[in-house]
Chain A
């Protein structure tokens, strides 16, 4: 295994760890490339070399955590973390401990055809320029397009005092493109997000060729320009896999993270019906092309799929080692940290509703009027299950068929109530890639599911966004 890993292994076997109940060392040696481009003008290109490590220790039920940029001796960082933990130890009872796991030793490498760090910057700039220029060419009403690209490559390493040793070759790429335009008197703004943690440059050129990204952006912008305003209030609706995924993740998934569960709306409902029998929701560590894919979590645990809702029944929580021990349930491998600078938290990976058996036409048929929400632009939820999602592509439903497009709007609701008002699931499944924020840490995740039909009362539609 790599030098980075050896460096940590020496420290974890040193005297610095004596008297500590648990030690976890993580290190990054990565290169991040960022490109911001508007039309054909490069606004910025930056490369960032990041090398550093952290130590997380558990002493008498108290956590201590310390970070150090560069690769100064990790033993000193262990000492710093243990000092922090020991400063808290007097006079406090603690039930904090870790469940036992089988230590994982693994070298994680993905099959990457065109490594991101081997692609010339000129090629990346050319791809982004084609997208930005392509949007304006495709529809002259589009006035400006900005592409924000980022990739991270390099090595990450993790070792723990109970024997885990994991090296990961990082291949993380992401692109967000935002386009703005103006129909008479009506400014519009649309965005497109794509990302990978398991592929190389081929993810962009093969799976998301520039023409496809342009088509998606222009298509969304055109329907907004032709759109009518959304009525305010609650209406029956059908939501696309992307919107369903946002609900699965933001509004329901967070409630099933063990560290949030007891202070959230699902508390007390474990083992009870929270949705119609047709509804099953999963958080999986691995799906085809998932932006949330992991092979080992950031505590060295082999991750497992978690059935959060099983045929309507609230089933299982996502855990890290600490919460698995506290609750007496299995560790699910959901501990994830954005980088070495922060400790791992209980986080989702790829969260989705299982499909049903209806076609989109059948889902629409059941609605005399309402809305069909297709694409999102950001969202937020909190522990009482309240959610808010920006919608950038939407259509009226009139007598079971699609009507006029609707301008950019926002939807909201209480997810626990929305869940109970699901009245149909489509047979298709799609996923979207985005970053999830929790406690100031941003993690790549995928969310998805089938088309879902909801009764009136499930979702509140409000004004423009």
Chain B
């Protein structure tokens, strides 16, 4: 495990301090989640490296149960005094809660953790700022080599090492360390009213194997291609979504909507459009979805969830037929389905929810280019604005393709502006024509490009 700075309490110490404080303060049950994150980042502004960050962040979330009432609190100190104050606050909050008759205690773990390889790489943890600067410069140079019109207003290369520990009074005692190297290049081409949209390309990896040149080149290519504006029209057309438009955690439509709709918690609370539809054909038969956090070296892979329950592979959709949902221990117990090892802790509100850890759309055949080549007239959506406003309950969505490009005769012919894509995710998923094989790792999902038919396009 990564060491803390000299003399400072570790993640394991934080959990032990919580255990002792809970016992001293007579909380019959406790649960503690501690994380130490260290990161270094080199950032780019106006096409050159302009600064570097070094972050050391700690956080502890404690939950206690007193007389069947559960309360929680956070602190960012691991020392006994800070932790004791945090436990006292959790006990105070517990006193305000109603006893939950269904409460079965914090989850226990009666089986061992699966072996998930390749999630920590020492070479990422020890990357120096000078090396990351060289990486960032390579990314920028590659982007700008695409065309003299291209610039890089923003970019970054970041190395992250995270140590996570979970312990509770039901015997859970889990510890893991993970690393991630992330890179982002955000390019534009042109100036003023003729400027392209921001064209971002991101990469993430557990190890140091990210191709900075390819990230820069792809972002530069997109910006350059988007600059040649062509007119779109209001119509229904075939649309290719890039892996980013499908799976990016911030703007990927399918990841944003499906992560919520496949949560057992949202199903129980009747705010998922997939509730009551197990066994139904909810997508085209091209779509098979799994939650699979056990894959080697993937950024969403991990041996246990945020309650310390072993991770596992979960069938969600088989050739378009809905098979089930993901569950944490609490909602899994309420539903009678049990936990699927999918607890995710909200580190702002302290709530523990169910969500996919690594949602995987099974790859089909062919690259993004193959999908583009199969379209006579249509659009390529690289990313979208507004996918986060999609309605998980109704399935309604509407977003602007940005960057969006037009495809004619199997080739990208130029950028389109202000093209709105809207509809209902139910219809969109039934209209999946083809899934690509070009899977990209977005951390919480593994997604390839997808070709949809009959997509509603609206323009000004």
Contact residues of A with B, CB < 8 Å? 32, 34, 36, 38, 41-52, 62-70, 72, 80-81, 83-85, 87-88, 92, 94, 96, 121-122, 125, 143-144, 148, 150, 180, 187-189, 232-234, 259-260, 262-269, 341, 343, 377-384, 386-390, 408-410, 412-414, 416-417, 439, 457, 459-465
A45 adjacent to B72 (CB under 8 Å):
yes
Interface string of B23-55 (1 = CB under 8 A from A): 000000000000000001010011011111111
B284: CB under 8 A from chain A?
A: no
Instruction: Indicate whether A464 sits within 8 Å of B192 (C-beta atoms), given known contacts A88-B129, A388-B399, A390-B386.
Output: no
4 A-B pairs besides A49-B75, A263-B153 with CB distance below 8 A are: A48-B350, A87-B130, A383-B188, A412-B420
Interface centre among A43, A70, A341, A413 (most CB of B within 10 A): A70
A259 adjacent to B271 (CB under 8 Å):
no
A84 adjacent to B350 (CB under 8 Å):
no
B456: CB under 8 A from chain A?
A: yes
Instruction: Indicate whether A465 sits within 8 Å of B422 (C-beta atoms), given known contacts A46-B74, A266-B192, A414-B417.
Output: yes
Contacts of B5 in A (CB 8 A): 72
Contacts of A439 in B (CB 8 A): 154
A70 adjacent to B130 (CB under 8 Å):
no
A232 adjacent to B458 (CB under 8 Å):
yes
B107: CB under 8 A from chain A?
A: no
Instruction: Indicate whether A416 sits within 8 Å of B73 (C-beta atoms), given known contacts A49-B85, A69-B56, A386-B402.
Output: no
Report Cα–Cα, A101/B396, bound state, in Å. Answer: 50
B1: CB under 8 A from chain A?
A: no
Report Cα–Cα, A211/B76, bound state, in Å. Answer: 38
- Residue of A at shortest CB range from B82? A49
B57 adjacent to A384 (CB under 8 Å):
no
Contacts of A383 in B (CB 8 A): 153, 188, 195, 197-198
How far, in Å, is A323 (CB) from chain B's closest CB?
A: 10
When the two chains form the complex, which single residue of B96, B270, B393 contacts A121, counting CB atoms closer than 8 Å?
A: B96
How far, in Å, is A109 (CB) from chain B's closest CB?
A: 25
A409 adjacent to B398 (CB under 8 Å):
yes
Instruction: Indicate whether A460 sits within 8 Å of B420 (C-beta atoms), given known contacts A189-B391, A341-B55, A386-B400.
Output: yes
When the two chains form the complex, which single residue of A43, A88, A388 contacts B133, counting CB atoms closer than 8 Å?
A: A88
Report Cα–Cα, A38/B49, bound state, in Å. Answer: 47
Count of A-B residue pairs with CB < 8 Å: 271
Main secondary structure of the interface of B (DSSP, over half): mixed
Ordered by A's residue number, 17 sampled pairs between the chains whose C-beta atoms are within 8 Å are: A38-B269, A50-B75, A51-B76, A62-B52, A67-B56, A84-B51, A144-B271, A148-B349, A180-B271, A189-B393, A262-B46, A379-B386, A382-B198, A383-B197, A410-B399, A464-B422, A465-B396
Instruction: Indicate whether A52 sits within 8 Å of B76 (C-beta atoms), given known contacts A85-B52, A383-B188, A414-B417.
Output: yes
B335: CB under 8 A from chain A?
A: no
Interface size on B, residues (CB 8 A): 83
How far, in Å, is A163 (CB) from chain B's closest CB?
A: 23
- Residue of A at shortest CB range from B399? A388
Contact residues of B with A, CB < 8 Å? 5, 8, 40, 42, 45-46, 48-59, 61, 71-77, 79, 82, 85-86, 89, 93, 96-98, 128-130, 133, 151, 153-154, 188, 191-193, 195-198, 234, 269-271, 348-351, 385-386, 388-391, 393-394, 396-400, 402, 417-418, 420-424, 456, 458-460
Contacts of B193 in A (CB 8 A): 265, 269, 416
When the two chains form the complex, which single residue of B46, B97, B154, B386 contacts A42, counting CB atoms closer than 8 Å?
A: B97
- Residue of A at shortest CB range from B415? A384
Report Cα–Cα, A417/B270, bound state, in Å. Answer: 41
A388 adjacent to B420 (CB under 8 Å):
yes
B424 adjacent to A48 (CB under 8 Å):
no
A46 adjacent to B93 (CB under 8 Å):
yes
B393 adjacent to A187 (CB under 8 Å):
yes
Report Cα–Cα, A62/B49, bound state, in Å. Answer: 9
Contacts of B420 in A (CB 8 A): 388, 410, 412, 460, 462-463
Report Cα–Cα, A125/B93, bound state, in Å. Answer: 11
Instruction: Indicate whether A43 sits within 8 Å of B351 (C-beta atoms), given known contacts A383-B198, A465-B397.
Output: yes
A341 adjacent to B399 (CB under 8 Å):
no
A88 adjacent to B96 (CB under 8 Å):
no
A62 adjacent to B50 (CB under 8 Å):
yes
Interface centre among B51, B52, B77 (most CB of A within 10 A): B51
Instruction: Indicate whether A233 sits within 8 Å of B389 (C-beta atoms), given known contacts A386-B402, A414-B418, A465-B396.
Output: no
Contacts of B72 in A (CB 8 A): 44-46
Contacts of A88 in B (CB 8 A): 42, 49, 51-52, 129, 133
Report Cα–Cα, A349/B348, bound state, in Å. Answer: 24
Instruction: Indicate whether A380 sits within 8 Å of B396 (C-beta atoms), given known contacts A66-B54, A264-B195, A269-B192.
Output: no
Report Cα–Cα, A381/B129, bound state, in Å. Answer: 33
How far, in Å, is A256 (CB) from chain B's closest CB?
A: 14
- Residue of B at shortest CB range from A465? B398
How far, in Å, is A370 (CB) from chain B's closest CB?
A: 14
B188 adjacent to A263 (CB under 8 Å):
yes
How far, in Å, is A439 (CB) from chain B's closest CB?
A: 8
Contacts of B195 in A (CB 8 A): 263-265, 267, 383-384
A232 adjacent to B418 (CB under 8 Å):
no
Instruction: Indicate whether A70 sits within 8 Å of B76 (C-beta atoms), given known contacts A63-B51, A187-B394, A189-B391.
Output: yes
Contacts of B390 in A (CB 8 A): 465
Which 3 pairs from chain A and chain B are nearest by CB? A63-B51, A46-B350, A463-B422
Report Cα–Cα, A457/B57, bound state, in Å. Answer: 49
Contacts of A341 in B (CB 8 A): 55, 57
A386 adjacent to B396 (CB under 8 Å):
no
Instruction: Indicate whether A408 sits within 8 Å of B51 (C-beta atoms), given known contacts A47-B74, A143-B270.
Output: no
A388 adjacent to B385 (CB under 8 Å):
yes
When the two chains form the complex, which single residue of A46, A92, A378, A379 contacts B73, counting CB atoms closer than 8 Å?
A: A46
Contacts of B89 in A (CB 8 A): 47, 49
Contacts of A150 in B (CB 8 A): 348-349
B458 adjacent to A122 (CB under 8 Å):
no
